[in-house]
């Protein structure tokens, strides 16, 4: 579904991604794990078109999207749950969801999808008129996920959904991610919480200073000594 071929990304003089290649297969949850500053967020931003690679290519459903504008990429079916949630804080929950469907024109479909989001996240329904900035961290994360779903993505990019959340909420969010995937959305998940990420993912890549250093099925990586030592605390 998505192929990343030797992309190189620079921030000024800093070489953030070094010939990074990996693949996301349709229907899977694929996770990129790695420490702070390894290049995980950079990778997602490059896929969604917010950053441009200097070399290399990104292929989505056999179409080269390396130089495609971010809004076109959303239209093609890739939507993103950004790091730190980034909800529109002075807009209501409802308006946030409507923004997620910004590129869609089918009013009926949008209304249905809002209902679907509310069924999945009843708490958002209760707070639909409240300003998004007044929600708790977990609710904001749910809103960010709901907003991304409103674009009807076939591939969803998720950046650190566990960030800043209490352990119980992290569990809840991850079971939601799993459920979204089971309903047919492919997910590329970037996480520092390697244990959680590997426990729901099918395929996994370990990234260090802009390079993929290890890859395999999530199960393989969970049992790998290197991963255990570096990322799983034992």
Partner 1 sequence: MDAVLSQYIDPYFLRIILIIGINIILALGLNLITGVTGQLSMGHAGFMSLGAYTSAILTMNYGVAFPTALLGGSLVAALFGFFIGLPTLRLQGDYLAMVTIGFAEIIRVFFLNFEPGGKAVGLSGIPQETTFLTVWGLVAVAVFLNARLLSSRTGRAFYAIREDEIAAESCGVNTTRLKVTAFVLGSFLGGLGGGLYAHYMFYIDPQVFNFTKSIELLNMVVLGGMGSIPGTILGAVLLTILPELLRVVAEYRLMFYGALLVILMIFRPNGLLGDVRIYDLKKRWGLGKNK
67 near partner 1, rule: CB under 8 A: no
Question: Are residues 35 and 213 in contact, defined by beta-carbon separation less than 8 angstroms?
Answer: no
Taking the complex as a whole, the smallest distance from the CB of residue 48 to partner 1 amounts, in Å, to 6
Which residue is listed with tokens 């971010």? 70
Compute how many other C-beta atoms are within 10 angstroms of the C-beta atom of residue 159.
Answer: 24
Taking the complex as a whole, the smallest distance from the CB of residue 82 to partner 1 amounts, in Å, to 6
Nearer to partner 1, 129 or 168 (CB): 129
Which candidate, 5, 69, 53, 2, places its Cα nearest to that of 212?
A: 5
Cα 109 to Cα 7, 23, 112, 142, 152, distances in angstroms: 36, 31, 5, 20, 10
Instruction: Count interface residues toward partner 1 (CB under 8 A).
Output: 26
Taking the complex as a whole, the smallest distance from the CB of residue 88 to partner 1 amounts, in Å, to 4
134 near partner 1, rule: CB under 8 A: no
By CB under 8 A, the residues from 69 to 88 that bind partner 1 are 69-71, 74-75, 79-80, 82, 86-88
Kindly write out the interface string for residues 182-201 of this chain, putting x where it contacts partner 1 by CB under 8 A and - elsewhere.
--------------------
Cα(124)–Cα(142) distance, rounded to whole angstroms?
A: 8
Tokens representing 72 are 């076109």
By CB under 8 A, name the binding residues for partner 1.
48, 50, 69-71, 74-75, 79-80, 82, 86-91, 94-95, 98-100, 102-103, 147-148, 151
């Amino acid at each position: 579904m998505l192929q990343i071929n030797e992309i190189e990304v620079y921030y000024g003089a800093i070489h953030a991604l070094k010939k990074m290649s990996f693949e996301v297969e349709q229907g899977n949850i694929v996770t990129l794990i790695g420490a702070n500053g390894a290049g995980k967020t950079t990778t997602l931003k490059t896929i969604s078109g917010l950053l441009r690679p200097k070399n290399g290519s990104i292929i989505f459903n056999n179409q080269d999207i390396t130089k495609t504008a971010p809004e076109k990429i959303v239209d093609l079916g890739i939507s993103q749950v950004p790091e730190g949630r980034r909800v529109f804080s002075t807009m209501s929950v409802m308006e946030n969801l409507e923004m997620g469907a910004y590129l869609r024109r089918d009013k009926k479909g949008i209304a249905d999808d809002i209902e679907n989001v509310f069924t999945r996240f009843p708490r958002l329904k209760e707070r639909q008129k409240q300003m998004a900035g007044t929600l708790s961290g977990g609710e904001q994360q749910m809103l960010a996920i709901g907003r991304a779903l409103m674009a009807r993505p076939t591939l969803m990019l998720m950046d650190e959904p566990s960030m800043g959340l209490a352990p119980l909420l992290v569990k809840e969010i991850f079971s939601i991610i799993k459920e979204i995937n089971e309903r047919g959305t492919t997910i590329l998940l970037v996480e520092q919480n390697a244990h959680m990420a590997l426990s729901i993912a099918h395929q996994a890549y370990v990234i260090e200073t802009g390079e993929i250093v290890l890859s395999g099925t999530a199960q393989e990586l969970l049992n790998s000594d290197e991963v255990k030592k570096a990322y799983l605390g034992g």
